[in-house]
Amino acid sequence: MTPIETDYLVIGAGAIGMAFVDTLLTDTDAQIVMVDRHHRPGGHWNEAYPFVRLHQPAAAYGVNSLELGHGGKDTLGLNAGMYSLSSGAELLAYFDQVMQQRFLPSGRVRFLPMSQVVGAYEVESLLTGARQAVTVRRKVVDGTHSRMQVPSTTPPRYTVAPGVRCVPLNDLARLSRPQAGYVVVGAGKTGMDACLWLLEQGVDPDQIRWVMPRDPWVLDRANVQSGDEFFMNTWG
């Protein structure tokens, strides 16, 4: 295959990689190749559970060139009265919009989904195994350096006894019959989301057991809002 030449080779089309490329398009005239193992941009949001939402206002997330969300407040639910928290579906649509309406039409970005970078440097298709050499004039940028992991793609780091049904959070929304009880392992955002979602669905609190390896560090969401009316909460 014909070798590719580019200024920047960006590995990963998640939030970090997308924000970096967005800034390159604004501040430079660089040519960019983006490579991602997923079939579309969005990084780990492609594997997230169906009821996931940001834990911060939409205005604090995304790329500089396009505001995420509608700028309004939620009127229902636990976040009522505060700025909206984008859903996983909204985030995937947002990153796809950035790719389709800004990156690719620029003529300076080439996106290679369902691919990975091997060696120094080749792009390998996960579907065909075909490889294409890449000559990088300036920099290779690894947008996956943080190695974000989610339960749906990471096996449990503990032993599960025979006969125990242990599923990632994604499968909660697919249950088709009542369960005798629910055990949530982990006290991070995902664990909190699991407990809150079960309660919102009407599950009796006595049916939920929460295994907390350690206490989480939690900020009051009212203190990290983006509107002027929350100024005293945030800075006062």
Q: What is the pLDDT of residues 67-100, one digit of tens each?
A: 999 889 999 999 999 999 999 999 999 999 999 9
Tokens of 235: 């800075």
Q: Are residues 127 and 26 in the same domain?
A: yes
The pLDDT tens digits of the residues spanning 19-32 come to 999 999 999 999 99
Phi and psi angles of residue 140, each rounded to the nearest 5 degrees, phi first: -100, 125
Radius of gyration of the chain (CA): 21
Cα 17 to Cα 142: distance, rounded to the nearest angstrom: 8
In the numeric block, the tokens 């792009």 are attached to 123
The one-letter code for the residue type at 199 is: L
**107 lies in the same domain as 189:** no
Domain that holds residue 204: 151-211
Helices of type H across the chain: 15-27, 88-98, 189-200, 231-235
Tell which residue, 62, 65, 86, 84, has the closest CA to residue 226. 84
Task: Report the DSSP pairing between strands 122-125 and 4-11.
Answer: unpaired
Residues 34 and 53 in one domain: yes
Q: What is the pLDDT of residue 148?
A: 80
- 3-class DSSP state of 102: helix
pLDDT tens for each residue of 135-168: 999 999 999 988 888 888 888 989 999 999 999 9
What whole-number percentage of the chain has pLDDT above 90? 81
Q: What one-character DSSP code corresponds to residue 103?
A: I
Q: How many other CB atoms sit within 10 Å of the CB of residue 184?
A: 20
| Total domain count, the chain | 2
Domain C-terminal end among 93, 109, 142:
142
CA 100 to chain centre: 18
135: which 2 tokens? 């000559």
Judgement on whether residues 51 and 24 belong to the same structural domain of the protein: yes
Residues 21 and 109 occupy one common structural domain? yes
